[in-house]
Copies of this chain bind each other. A is one copy, B any other.
Amino acid sequence: MNKISSSSTLIVEGKYRLGVRVYYEDTDAGGIVYYANYLKFSERARTEMLRTIGYEHQDNGKNYGVSFVVRTCNVEFFNPGMLDDLLEVETEILMVRGASIRMRQNIKRGSQELVLMEIKLACISSNGNPVRIPIALRNRISDLILLKGDG
């Protein structure tokens, strides 16, 4: 079994896929998606992937007392997205450590790769200090990786 079905999404072989439509708001006068907006798309995908394991940003502060912030973000832009495109953000957790998570995210149009990101998220407490990921949460996130190997 290597699928978790969600509202409209799937995790297959450890990769979570989210469809993202390109609207006017996402484009710029160069006629293409503005480069910073791919970071919005990838954040939506990370949020939805976490939602599949029951994690919601608002509730989580109350439940776990922690949140995640981006520490590093390395991005390569291969091809531009265009207005009306239906893109796919493919998100894969590479590693879960004590206080951080590493992910790789690809943004594609069909089989064509547009953008590749590697992201490091850090877990912080409500006052902004780095803290260990609560074990219950960490186990659930780790489950997202384990799905990868059992195809």
Residues of A participating in the B interface, judged by any CB pair closer than 8 Å: 8, 21, 23-25, 27-32, 34-37, 39-40, 43-44, 47-48, 56-59, 67, 69-77, 80, 82-84, 128
Contact = CB atoms under 8 A, between A and B. Distances in A.
Closest 4 CB pairs of A and B: A36-B39, A27-B29, A24-B28, A29-B83
Nearest to A56: B84
Contacts of A30: 24, 67, 69
A77 B84 contact: no
Given A25-B34, A72-B74, 8 more contacts: A23-B43, A24-B28, A24-B34, A25-B36, A25-B43, A36-B40, A72-B77, A75-B75
A74 to B, nearest CB: 5
A67 B29 CA distance: 12
A35 B67 CA distance: 14
11 contacts: A23-B40, A23-B43, A24-B29, A29-B31, A36-B37, A39-B39, A56-B84, A58-B84, A69-B80, A70-B77, A73-B73
